[in-house]
Every structure is written in C-alpha cells, then in structure tokens.
Amino acid sequence: MAWETVIGIETHVQLSTKTKLFSRASTEFGKSPNTNVNLIDCGLPGVLPSVNKEAFYKAIRFGLAVGAQINQMSIFDRKNYFYADLPKGYQITQMDVPIVLGGTIDIETDKGIKTINITRAHLEEDAGKSIHDQFDGYSAIDLNRAGTPLLEIVSEPEISNAKEAVAYMKAMHQLVTYLDVSDGNMSQGSLRCDANVSVRKIGDPELGTRTEIKNINSFRFVEKAINFEVKRQIKQLENGEVVTQETRLYDSVKDETRPMRSKEFANDYRYFPEPDLLPVVISDKEMQDIKDNFPELAEEKEKRYTKDFGLSEYDAQILASSKIMADFFEQSTKETKNYALLANWLIGEIGAFLNKDAIEINQSKLTPSNLAMLINRIDDQTISGKIGKSIFEEMYASGASPDKIIESQGLQQISDDGEIEKIINSVIQENPDQVTAYLAGKDKLFGFFVGQVMKLTQGKANPQTVNTILKERLKE
Amino acid sequence: MSIQFKTIRELREMLDKKAISSEELTNETHKLAENLKDLNCFVTMNKDASIEKSKIIDQADKADSVLSGIPLAQKDLFCTEGLRTTCSSKILSNFIPPYTATAVKKLESAGSITIGKTNMDEFAMGSSNETSYFGNVHNPWKKGYVPGGSSGGSAAAVAAGIVPAATGTDTGGSIRQPAAHCGITGIKPTYGRVSRWGMIAFASSLDQAGPLARSAEDCAILLNEMSGHDSKDTTSLDIECTDLLDTINQPIKGLKIGIVKEFDLGDLDSEVQNRFEDSKKLYETLGAEFIEISLPNISASVPTYYSIAPAECSSNLSRFDGVRFGHRAENTEDLNDLYIKSRSEGFGDEVKRRILIGTYALSAGYYDAYYKKAQQVRRLIKNDFESAFKSVDLMMTPTSPGTAFAFGSKGAQNPIELYLEDLFTISSNLAGLPAISIPHGKVNSLPAGLQLIGNFLREDQILNAAHIFQKNSEFHLDKPSMEEF
C-alpha cells in the first residue's frame, strides 16, 4: 500500500533584539541564571508589560520578505497555563490577529523549487527554563529566557517528506539570518520547530490524524524525527491500529519519538485579550522606514557577487547561501582583490575544516583580515598555494596572522632566479641517471626533478620559476 | 493639640505656622492609630521609616508642596519598597516588594509620609472588608458594622480621623462604597488617569487608583499628584492633566445633572430616597438643572461586571503559585501538588470563588457565551453613557443602595446579595468614567453617600460640583463619636 506524508511546521524564531519583548532586561545568551531578569520578567505582583518596538520591526521585516500581509495594529492575548518557568501563569501572545498573515517560502527539493505557503506568524514571549537534573530533589528555574521575543511562524501542511522539512528549515534559517531578525543559532535555541506529521493513503482527500513533535533544534533531528514518526504511523495503520492525536518528543539518543505525558498538554488555554496592553500601532512612516532599510537577501547578494566580484554563479551561490559566510567574504574583500582565489579558499579548504569541526566561520579563530592577508601572499607569490595550506592550518589552529607565521618559520617563497638555478644545478648534478633517462624521452621524470627542488627548498621555491628554469637547463 | 479629624488644608496650616512639626504630626498619627487599633484598619505600620522621613521634611525651611509632611495611609495593594504588601491575603502575607507603585511614589515625592498599609478585602474582592485574611475592619460610626469595601481600611482610617487622606482602588465601587459607608469623600478617576504600575491587579481593565479624604478639595489635592502618564503602564493616558484646584470653586449655575431613569429608587429604604431628594433640592438651589436620561443597558451592568472582572482576576492571580514569592505550601509531592496546596491554603473563599467563576467564563465552549458577550454588553453600556453625556454634564445616583450593615449580615448565604452593593457604582468602571462619592446625611444614624458620575476625564466637573455642595452643606464635617473604640 502506498502512503504519503503531510507535514506542517511551526517555527519558533527568537528575535535578536537587545532587550525583551515586554521589559528592558537584556536578552544576551549564556549569562548566569536569573541575571537577565527584572521585575516584569519574574512576574512580580503589580508589574505591567511595556512594549519593545524593535521586535515588531523585525517581525514586520520577516513578513515583508515572505510577501505577507502585515497587520499594523497588533493585539495581544493571554494564553493561560501553569508551569514553573512561566512566571505570570500566562504567556502573552497573539491569537486572533497575528502581525504577519500569509506569505510564501521557496524551498529546494529533488524536483526543483517548491513554494510553501505560510499561514501566519505571530509575536509572543518565550518562557524561562526548568532545570531538573542539577539539584537533588529540586527543580531549578532560570528566567533569563523568560520574555525573550519569539516569532512563531506557522506553515500550511504542504511539506511532503523529511527532506523537504529540512529544506524548509534551511530556507527559514537563511531568511531570518539574512533579515537580521534572528541569530538563527539552533544549538542555543534561537531557531527551533514543532513538526505536525500525518500520513494518508495516496489519493485520500482527508488528512490523517496528526501528531506534533515538539521542540526540534537541529536540521539533522528534523529529518530523523520525521522519518521515525512517519514509519511509526504507517506501521500502526498497516497493523489496523489508529494514530492518536498527541504531542511527542524526539529522543535523539534513542532516535525515536515518544508521547509527552498527557498532563503536559491537556490544557484549555483560556485565551482572552491581554487587558494590560493597548493595541500596538505601527505607523505608515514606520512601515516605510522598515522598507527603506531592508537588508540585502541571498538572491540579491548572489547576483552582486557575480557582477561586482566576477565570481562564478556556483561560487556566488554557495557563499551567499549562508549570511555568516557571506559577511566573512565581504569583510575579506576589503583587504584583498583576488576575489576568485578568496572564494575558492572559503568554499574549498576552509569549508572542509569548518565542516569537520561543525562550526560556523565566525566561531573559528579565523579573521577576514588574516584570510585576506593569506590570499594576498599567495597572489603576490610570497608563498605558494601549497605552503598556503600549511600556513592556513596554523592560522586556523592558533589565530595567528599569516605574515607572522611566514616570518617566524621562514616560509617566504624563493622566486629569485639565481638561487633557484643553483638548486636546480645541484639536482641535475646529483641525478645523472635520471637526466639521461629524461633526455632519452622519459618526460614523466620532469616531475621528479621538480619534486627534488621542492624537497631541497622545503616547498618554498616558486613552482613557475622552477618549471621555466628546469626546462631550460634540461635542454642544455 | 489634637490632630484627629483634621483635613489636609488644616494640617498644612498647622505645619506652615509651625504649630506642629512634621515629626510631631507623624508621631501623633502613630499614637492615634495605636489607640484606635481595635478598628483594625491597618495591616502593617511604617513607623520607623515614616518618622525618619518626617525628620528630613522638618529640616527644610519651607514646604515645597501642599502634601509636604502630611501623613497618608496606603491601601495594602500598592507595592511599597521594603514595606510588606499583602493585599490582605495569606498568600502574600510575607511579601516585601522591591519597588514602589507609581501612584504612591508620586505622593511620596510630593513630601507626604506613608504611615502604614490599610486593611482591605482580600485582593480587593468584596464590598464589606470581610474577606480580609487580617480580619474585619470596624466602621468608625458603629462597632461591629462593616466599613464597606474593598478599600475599607483606608475609608475607616480617614473616617476615624487618623489620617486626613488615604489611597484606595476601585474596580467596581471599592473607593466610593466604603467612602459612602464611612461618611467621607472618595473619587474613582477616569480609567488611565492614574498609573496602575505597582498596583496589584484584580481586574486590569477596570482597576483604577484614587484618593479617599475628608473633603472633595483634599481629594483634588491628592489626585493632582497621583495623575499623569506613566511609560510603565501602556494603559495610562498620555494627556496633560490640569490642576483640579483651579476650577474647583467655579459656580455651578446652569450645571446639567442627569438622573438615570432606569435606576428605580422606589425599592430602596425611604430614608435613602429622602436623602437623595434633599441633595437634589440643594443642587437646584445652587443653580443646577436636573434632566432625566436613559441608560438602556444599565441593568446588565452587574452580570457584565461579574463575567469580566472574575475572568481577568482568574488570570491575574495565576502568578500567585508559591514558586517565586508569597506563601508556599510545605510537604508537597510535585509541582502540581505545590500549586494546588499553596493556592488552596493561600487564598480565601471569595477569591477562590471568583477565580473559579472567571476560569469557567474563559473556558473553551463558554468564552463566547460569557466573556465575549460581556465585552459586547460593556461596549453597549459605554455607548449609553456616551450618548447620555450629550445632554448632561454629570449624573447623580445614590452611591450604594443602603448604608453600612452588621458583620456577617449580608452575603453569607448568597454572595449575590453582596454583589448588589455595587449596583450604582459598577457601570462607571465598565465605561471607564470618573465618579465621586460624597456624604449627604444619615440614614438610621449611619452615613449615606451621593454619587456624581462625570464624563471622560472630567474629574474637574465632578470635583467642582462636589466641592460647591460641601461649601453649602455640613454633612462632610460630621464626625463619628468614636466612643466605642
């Protein structure tokens, strides 16, 4: 029997504002517990929320980027439930009137570009964190995250498999980082999603019963969790059982999803309009300001890279696909003019190192200045490309500047004709047999002579100079 | 020299003439409070800090504000930094706020001295001050009788002459009804005139802070200081507030006063009716003109209020969960058990009743029938007022259907009996309009109150009308004998 999968995704994007949605406490990540917390965040008696407009601007920027309708009058609602890390006993969110309505996101699939419709995106405050494993017999509450602005983006159920879901999340990541709406850091929880998954027989007009996998925080887990869940549901249906509508959690260690305890989601949230906040109105002028200061998106960057830097479409696309990489590239171009070589390095050698360590370039010790210097040294033939690679390894490991490494290790390329000729002469003298064989027509031995020269110069000889002089000398 | 029953004006004169120092005044006030502690109008005294502040005030050559050195009492739902704030609830019985409510801060910045925190109905839910965890407050006019509520402690402290004025809050009549029952003056301002920052919320869309005092003029003095936009409260109105004393003495000739057709006073005690008719006559002799107006949806105001207010309260009071502050139950099994026990132990019956009503009114399947419907009716009531105010300057009603009653005599079997205490006061909260209660004589030797409801932000008009009334009558000068205390 043939089954098809239907997936809708709710993405929670932490907006990269300096302060919280309804208080002036900092949103900085990684501070000691309960330090980014003020009276409002801990829900003290008598406190009232006040509005951080920056969060609205970011939400609107996202809405404009996906071609959505923007509600310039924002109304908030309370979602009531008890949890220890929810200080007020309710979350301020938008129920009836989301700030962003509609819009689309294009994703790349095996069959080409597919357009996913966005249902809505609304602003809400994040909760704090409960820590259950650090104090014996107690749970601890960290309210640093409480009140951080979130944009919850809800897609239509138009995603057909786990790969598309990953593509959707990658497109989302690219968009929110490009828009400077979020830092997109998934391991820190800045971007996470809930996946609503159901299966049905192909051709069935009715949707199957769905389950919601909560709080998935990496591309890999999105794929694995959905694949597991789809298999589980199909197996249940094929065994003649029914799928229960429920909330599930993905356990990455066991690679499985399992139901959350029913208590955790059996809630009537008793939504009602938040009486402590008047409607927040974004003026036409503010809207115009947002439009006038719209950041450049990936596609525009790609075009600019081919036009202004003469990059190939392929290179331009890879560099522009990540805002972090693109920023690094553009920073580097301020100090080197060999854009093609720079792109090559970023995509090839550097990309490989970053992949191996699974980090972004801004998390490495590399700086745009140092990289530009390395490119310049190769470009001006101070060093060869090969030496460049070993210098890079050290730069990557220690963060040292290439000039310092070159100087301290004496790695300057030998381009002086006289000096190279001397070395070539000695190679020829010391290998009479090979010279004879070469002259007898064994052309491949040319490489042997180059290798010997490089060995004697520890790779520092300029390969082009070596080639030219060696050819001349062997003719004689 | 006795300071009991003095108005702010009188105390100001004594201070300015150096007949008394601020320190002496503060000490005398504490003595009075101590002597009259059987009234039970205070939950917590601010003795040391208030005396400390009075000494600083005395060092200044000249008072820079009319309130400088004047002792005031604050209702115990205004957060006061370092001074216990309980909302008269067990659940907050150990809560010491790290900050001060804007309304109190403004009064304190003007030099007034907070001498203590007054008893109230628990979380301001009640009309008799009988729901307080800290016990009943006696009406200074008659021991064993309620002072009204929820600002019962503030009203009793002013009526007993301990302080010249006190702060209160009014969600459905909680300033005006106790003012009426205690024979003093109290005003509930326009919603948004006074910041709600630091006022522990009962029903956010209805709550408003205001003063209780011995005269309309003293109310104006306090309200002048309390008013004004506060960026910490997005519902506070961003408007310039004029000096309410500037217009308080204007003649009221030609003032158009509305009498609400739908409020049938025929069912009330005939003496209550007589007081109302007497006051009408007085206003007529002062040049006011009475016009009958209609508020067609007014009969729905009590049920509307008792859908909206509990709904908001059920959510507002969720934060009292025993996790971060306030009472936490001991020996709990898990988080849920902690919630259930802390809240069951911490809240009194009336608060629990309203949380349950509100939770029900917001529940899936009932929201449309209760909360949403109530909001729609609220809009209609507001519209009624808007159109009625096209033909009148203010409206006049009794403040309360009756006078103060004996402890335990109302609402014990049927809570709705008590809810009807707010019949005349609730609609101005629903419409967000200002309203004042002034004493206008006695019914069976207990004070009765007259309510004047003003148009949006027209506190100036109702204070003016109230002040002219008081200049031409002596009801507000009447004092309880205090022999029983």
Which CATH number do you get for residue B138? 3.90.1300.10
Best residue in A39, A79, A272, A281 for a mutation probing chain B (most B CBs within 10 Å): A272
The pLDDT score that the predictor gives to residue B168 is 98
Which of A270, A274, A278 should be substituted to probe chain B, the one whose Cβ sees the most B Cβ atoms within 10 Å? A270
Q: Is residue B108 part of a domain?
A: yes
pLDDT in tens, A342-395: 999 999 999 999 999 988 899 999 999 999 999 998 888 788 888 889 889 989
Residue ranges of E strands in A232-355: 246-251, 256-259, 272-273, 280-281
Q: Does residue A291 belong to any structural domain of this protein?
A: no
Chain B (249-308) residues lying within 8 Å, Cβ to Cβ, of chain A = none
Q: Is residue A29 assigned to a domain?
A: yes
The model's pTM: 0.89
Q: Is B18 left (phi over 0), alpha (psi -120 to 50) or beta?
A: left
Is the sign of the CA dihedral A312, A314, A315, A316 positive or negative?
positive
Residues of the domain holding B225 = 8-255+464-477
Average pLDDT of the segment spanning A151-163:
97
Q: Same domain for A385 and A430? A: no
Region A48-71 average pLDDT: 97
Distance CA A397, CA A433 (A): 43
Tell me how far apart the alpha carbons of residues B207 and B195 are, in angstroms, rounded to a whole number: 10
Confidence category of residue A1, pLDDT binned at 50, 70, 90: low
* CA distances in angstroms from B94 to A460, B86, B125, B142, B330, listed in the order given: 78, 7, 20, 32, 15
Classify residue A164: in a domain, yes or no. Answer: yes
Question: Pick from A49, A51, A88: which is nearest to B318 by CB?
Answer: A88
Q: Does B19 touch chain A (CB under 8 A)?
A: no
For chain A, how many structural domains are there in total?
Answer: 3
The helix (run of H) or strand (run of E) holding residue A154 is strand A149-155
B62 touches chain A (CB under 8 A): no
Q: Using CA atoms, how far apart are residues A20 and A25, in angstroms rounded to an integer? A: 6
- Does some domain include residue B69? yes
**Which residues face A105 on adjacent strands?**
A116
Question: Known catalytic residue: B236?
Answer: no
Domain end point (choices A387, A409, A431): A409
B332 has a chain A CB within 8 A of its CB: no
Q: Exposure pattern of A444-460 as b/e (b: 16+ CB <10 Å)?
A: ebeeebbebbbeebebb
CA dihedral for A201, A203, A209, A214, sign (positive or negative): positive
Residue A230 and residue A119 in one domain: yes
A441 pLDDT higher than 60: yes
Assess whether B174 carries a catalytic annotation: yes
Q: Do B325 and A80 touch (CB under 8 A)?
A: no
Residue A208 shares a structural domain with residue A312: no
The domain containing residue A402 runs over which residues? 296-409
| Distance from the first to the final alpha carbon of chain A | 78
Domain contains B241 = yes
pLDDT exceeds cutoff 80 at A304: yes
- A428 and A404 in one domain? no
Count the Cβ atoms, other than its own, within 10 Å of residue B245. 16
Q: How far apart are CA A220 and CA A201, in angstroms?
A: 27
Mutate to test the interface with A, among B236, B324, B351 (most CBs of A within 10 A): B324
**Contact between A87 and B198 using a beta-carbon 8 Å cutoff:** no
Give the per-residue pLDDT at B307: 95
SS3 state of residue A74? strand
> Closest Cα partner for A328 from A377, A295, A379, A372?
A372
**A261 falls in which pLDDT band (50, 70, 90)?**
low
Are A192 and A86 in the same domain?
A: yes
Residue A444 and residue A380 share a domain: no
How many angstroms separate the CA atoms of A300 and A288, rounded?
20
With CA atoms as reference, report the closest residue to A23 among A126, A176, A152, A129: A126
Lowest mean pLDDT among A134-138, B387-391, B460-464: A134-138
Statement to judge: residues A391 and A251 lie in one domain: no
Question: Looking at the DSSP assignment, which residues form a beta bridge with residue A150?
Answer: A14, A124
Instruction: Give the residue, A467 or A101, on which the prediction is more confident.
Output: A101
Q: Which of B205, B314, B318 sits opposite A275 (nearest CB)?
A: B205
CA Rg, chain A, in Å? Answer: 29
Query: Residues of B with CB below 8 A from A76's CB?
Result: none
Give the residue from A374, A409, A444 where a domain finishes. A409
A271 chain-B contacts, CB cut-off 8 A:
362, 367
**What pLDDT, on the 0 to 100 scale, is given for residue B159?**
98
**Nearest by CB: B232 against A50, A90, A263:** A50
A49 and A197: one domain?
A: yes
Residue B379 lies in a domain: no
Which residue of B234, B319, B363 is in closest CB contact with A43? Answer: B319
- Prediction ipTM score: 0.95
Determine which one of B50, B88, B127, B174 is catalytic: B174
- Interface check B238 vs A, CB under 8 A: no
- Output the average pLDDT for chain B: 96
Render pLDDT for A115-136 as a digit per residue (tens, 0 to 9). 999 999 999 999 999 998 899 8
Which of B85, B101, B204 has the CB atom closest to A275's CB atom? B204
Amino acid identity, position A258: R
Across the A/B interface, how many CB contacts are shorter than 8 Å?
104
Angle of helix A219-238 versus helix A162-178 axis, rounded to 10: 150
**Co-location of A365 and A469 in the same domain:** no
- The verdict on A141 touching B (C-beta cutoff 8 Å) is yes
Measured in residues, chain B has a length of 485
- Is B35 domain-assigned? yes
Residues on chain A touching B99 (C-beta within 8 angstroms): 39, 44
At residue B117, the 3 state secondary structure works out as strand
Tell me the nearest-neighbour CA distance from B450 into chain A, angstroms: 30
Q: Is residue B91 part of a domain?
A: yes
Q: Mean pLDDT for chain A? A: 91
* Span A404-436, pLDDT tens digits: 888 777 777 777 788 888 888 888 888 888 888
Average pLDDT of the residues in A246-260: 91
Which of A402-411, B307-316, B357-366 is the least confident region? Answer: A402-411
The structural domain count of chain B equals 1
CB contact under 8 A, B98 and A44: yes
Residue B264's CB is within 10 A of a number of other CB atoms, namely 9
Structure tokens at B238: 């961003």
pLDDT tens string B424-452: 999 999 999 999 999 999 999 999 999 99
Contact B315 A44 (CB under 8 A): no
- Residue pLDDT, tens place only, B323-345: 999 999 999 999 999 999 999 99
- B341 at interface of A, judged by CB pairs closer than 8 A: no
Say yes or no for a CB contact (<8 Å) between B318 and A47.
no
pLDDT of residue A266: 60
Whether the Cβ atoms of residue B200 and residue B171 lie closer than 8 Å to each other: no
Which residues pair with residue B86 across a beta bridge? Answer: none
Residues of B whose CB is below 8 A from A90: 315, 318
Q: Do B87 and A50 touch (CB under 8 A)?
A: no
Q: Does B339 contact chain A (CB < 8 Å)?
A: yes
Q: Tell the residue number behind the tokens 């509930």, with chain if given.
A: B188
Annotated active-site residue in B22, B150, B195, B342: B150
Q: How far apart are CA B167 and CA B151, in angstroms?
A: 8
- Which residue bears the tokens 């104090």? A135
How far is Cα of residue B238 from the mean position of the Cα atoms in its chain? 23
Q: In this model, does residue A9 exceed pLDDT 80? A: yes
DSSP letter assigned to residue A364: S
Share of chain A above pLDDT 70, in %: 98
Measured CA to CA in angstroms, residue B61 lies from B9, B16, B17 at distances of 19, 10, 12
Chain B: residue whose CA lies nearest to A34 = B324
pLDDT at A262: 56
List the catalytic residue out of B75, B106, B341, B410.
B75
Round to whole Å and give the CA distance between B457 and B266: 31
Phi, psi angles (nearest 5°) of residue A389: -65, -40
**What are residue B448's DSSP bridge partners?**
none
Domain stop point among A238, A268, A286: A286
pLDDT at A265 over 60: no
Residues of B (162-221) whose Cβ lies below 8 Å from A = 196-201, 203-205
Of B231, B359, B362, which has the smallest distance from its Cβ to A50's Cβ? B231
Q: Answer for the pair B444, B327: CB distance below 8 angstroms, yes or no.
A: no
Which pLDDT band, with edges at 50, 70 and 90, does A309 fall under? very high
Average pLDDT over residues A431-452: 85
Q: Which of B200, B339, B363 comes nearest A270 by C-beta? A: B363
- Are A390 and A250 found together in one domain? no
Co-location of A391 and A458 in the same domain: no
- Whether cis (ω within 30° of 0) applies to the bond prior to B150 is yes
Domain match, A311 and A372 both? yes
Q: Give the residue from A183, A224, A240 showing the smallest Cα distance to A15.
A: A183
Q: Which of B79, B319, B335, B373 to mutate to test the interface with A (most CBs of A within 10 A)?
A: B319
| Residue B394 or residue A412, greater confidence | B394
Joined together, the tokens standing for residue B337 give 């058990």
Within a domain: residue B312?
no
Residue of A nearest to B201 (CA): A46
